[in-house]
Structure 1
Amino acid sequence: MIDLRRVQVLRVLADRGTVTATAEALHLTPSAVSQQIRLLADDLGVELLERTGRNVRLTVAAHALLRHADALHEQWERARAELAVGSRVTGTLRLCGVSSAVAALMAPAVARLRRDFPELDVHVAEEESEDCFTLLLAGQADIAVVLPTAGTPPVDDARFDQHVLHEDPQDLLVWRGHPFAEGGGGGGGGDVDGVRLSDAAAENWIVKPRHNDTYDLLLAACSAAGFTPRVTHHVKEWFAVSALVAEGFGVCLLPRLVPVPGEHPVVRVPVRGNPRPVRKFLCCVRRGSGSHPALAEGVRALRAAVGRLPG
């Protein structure tokens, strides 16, 4: 017999790449991860890992097992969902997502769930997109709202169901005295006609390059517009970014879901022409789990939150 929990450890190891990272994701010790893989190998009578210096890599047999493991876990998720259909919406529902999704979508969605299903215990975690997929895979999150980046799984990844939840335009945020801000008004709408992203090619940009989905999106948008941004200040939190923009240290792309701090003398300038930078939020669950009553209600609440967004 195969213990699916051991197969799950192998799946996370394939995703994270190292025993240490797998242990961190599963809240285990590295020795416990290694033991689970050894026991699984003994159950199957094959070698699943081979050493390459100080690291390990998956064998051909391990990769073959993983192809079947995705189908096995999908079927298990479907079975769990089917067993729960018709019962009251209870238990625990864990949501994770990027910060702007937490603020604009998850907060009202969780409020709706708390009102409609008081027996459902809902937890929210703010994480970067890649980490959200790891949490889903490890069974430590049920629904994720993420931004697709170079490091996230493709939309047809057999482990997840992904669909577009919301498209969020991005504007250029500049200080009030910037030439792009003429006619924009304080803290608000910007020039009616806006600017092309390529017009900002010579600007200094404010964004944190490491462990930040926004950086990948900025690079992709600027590359499509024909330039590489000159990043001069490495800051991630939007209030801090806005404060630096207000002092004239650079510009940034500000998503529509993120409000402009009223105390900062900055102007949100629409970006016109093509390409227009837009963030696409994906709603993701483990494949096969979407019909579970709690997950289905969670996704429904997120869609309702999108429907109440301005504009």
Structure 2
Amino acid sequence: MIDRRLGVLQAIARHGTVTAAAEVCRLTPSAVSHQMQALARELDVVLLEPVGRTVRLTPAAHTLIAHAEALTAQWEHARADLSAHRSGDVGGTLRFAGFSSAAAVVVPKALDLLREEHPALRVHLRESEPARSFDLLAADEVDVAVVVATPSIPPASDAAFDQHPLVDEPLDVLVGPEHPLVGRDGVALADLAHDPWVCGNRGRAYHQLVTLACTVAGFAPDIAHFADEWDTGAALVARGFGVALVPRLADLPAHHDTRRIPIRTPPVPTRRILAAVRAGSGHQPTIAAGLDALRRVTATDLPALDP
């Protein structure tokens, strides 16, 4: 119903280059350039200006994007209004995206609720990094994205998406069995300022989370190892190669001998978990049911530490 080239232009605005937009839109850079040239000719305006090896959006392009966001949101509202003319239980298909911890813990519990309460509803889950989840939303490849708030995701003011806070999840310190802090019932993050750290790879949400938390606590972490999988990170921590921050929801492998210690001295790091949908889509019955299930799951107490 809406010219798909508008979505390509929005991708260029979000990612800053034709190449990056082509990747998320599953097109070649030349196809993206061709589409933008054709759209500019049809509208008789200049949309992109070359700046070195990148491009800059013109004022006309920003005006067009604002209209595209309004059109998309209105279409989502229309789909919600049309649902009133359908009878029966909530049905159809609901597609989720979630980052690793959410995909393993939060979303499956929500899927259980949906399966029990809406048996006619088909649900799907795709594990995805937060920034990528917004690309999937924009491309209409998923309907609900469960993400952690990091600098890499669109701001809450982005008119293309509606973002719903779900829970602020505390982070714990993970240390090996011989670490000097073992046995304490709480620590300050600054107590580990001189330790080597195990962290996710640069550009990943976990890397941003750890470095930001340490910066707020007054130090830059000495990152000795990079690990994106909890199994790898826990293995390094268990053998004394570093310490790590772990979200309370993270289900660590039991075969590695590690110790969780809560951070009780401010600043206590947390991560905010959000549910994001396309602007205007939250009133569609399937998406509304998904958001409700996520809110109910995250309203329960987070897993407690063993005494």
Shared fold by TM > 0.5?
Answer: yes
Distance (whole Å) between structure 2 residues aligned to residue 231 and residue 3 of structure 1: 46
- Tell whether the 8 Å contact from 2:172 to 2:262 is kept in structure 1 after alignment: yes
Structure 1 match to 2:146:
145
Give secondary structure in 1 for the equivalent of 2:23: helix
Say which is worse superposed, 208-217 or 79-88, in terms of deviation: 79-88
Q: 2: distance between equivalents of 1:288 and 1:212?
A: 29
Cα-Cα RMSD:
1.9
2:271 match: secondary structure: strand
Which deviates more from structure 2 when the two are superposed, residues 269-278 or residues 53-62? 53-62
2:259 is aligned with what amino acid? V
Are 2:227 and 1:226 aligned?
A: no
Distance of 1:286 and 1:263 partners within structure 2: 40
CA contact (8 A) 2:176 2:258 kept: yes
Paired residue secondary structure (2:181): helix
Q: Distance in 2 between matches of 1:4 and 1:222?
A: 45
* CA distance in 1 between partners of 2:4 and 2:59 (Å): 21
Distance 2:100 2:84 in 1: 31
Q: Partner residue of 1:10?
A: 9
Matching residue of 1:126: 127
Asked if structure 1 preserves the Cα contact closer than 8 Å seen for 2:94 and 2:122, the reply is yes
Deviates more, 1:86-95 or 1:151-160: 86-95
Match of 1:177 in 2: 178
Q: Please give the per-residue CA displacement for 1:73-126, whole angstroms capped at 9, x wherever unaligned.
A: 211211122112453423222111210011111111122223333332222111
Specify the alignment match of 1:109 in structure 2. Answer: 110
Quick one: structure 1 residues 275 and 117, their matched pair in 2 at CA, closer, same or farther if it must change by over 3 Å? same
8 Å CA contact retained: 2:2, 2:72: no
Q: Distance in 2 between matches of 1:45 and 1:57?
A: 18
Q: Is the 8 A contact 1:3 1:40 kept in 2?
A: no
Instruction: Give the distance between the partners of 1:32 and 1:69, measured in 2 at CA.
Output: 20
Matches within 5 A, 1:56-75: 56-75=55-74
Shift of 1:200: 0.6
Query: Which residue in the other structure is 1:46 paired with?
Result: 45
2:27: which partner in 1?
28
Written as runs of structure 1 = structure 2, the 5 A alignment for 1:189-268 is: 191-192=184-185, 194-268=186-260
Contact 1:12-1:138 at 8 Å conserved across structures: no
Q: Which amino acid aligns with 1:202?
A: H
Match of 1:185 in 2: none
Distance 1:54 1:224 in 2: 36
Instruction: Summarize deviations over 1:116-143 as a string: whole Å, max 9, x none.
Output: 3333222211111111112112222211
Alignment TM-score, normalising by the size of structure 1: 0.90
> Paired residue for 2:282, among 280, 290, 299?
290
Q: How has the CA–CA distance of structure 1 residues 223 and 295 changed in structure 2, closer, same or farther, with 3 Å as cutoff?
A: same
Gaps of 5+ in 1: 183-190
Cα deviation for residue 3 of structure 1 reads: 4.8
Identity %: 47
Q: Note if contact 1:128-1:211 (Cα within 8 Å) is conserved in structure 2.
A: no
Q: Which residue of 1 aligns with 2:36?
A: 37
Letter in 2 for 1:10: L
**Residue 216 of structure 1 aligns to which amino acid in structure 2?**
Q
Q: Give me the whole-angstrom Cα distance separating, in 2, the residues matched to 1:298 and 1:262.
A: 31
CA contact (8 A) 2:167 2:299 kept: no
Q: Secondary structure at the match of 1:257?
A: coil
Amino acid corresponding to residue 14 of structure 1 in structure 2: A
Structure-2 change in CA distance of 1:3 and 1:94 (3 Å): closer
Q: Where does the alignment leave 5 or more consecutive residues of structure 2 unmatched?
A: none
Number of equivalenced pairs: 301
- Report the TM-score when normalising by structure 2: 0.92
Residue by residue, what CA displacement relative to the aligned partner does 1:194-234 show, whole Å, maximum 9, x if unpaired? 11111110000001232311111111111111111000001
> Aligned partners of 2:38 and 2:10: how far apart in 1?
15
Match of 2:296 among 294, 299, 304: 304
Letter in 1 for 2:41: D
Task: Output the CA distance in 1 between the equivalents of 2:41 and 2:90.
Answer: 40
The one-letter amino acid paired with 2:49 is E
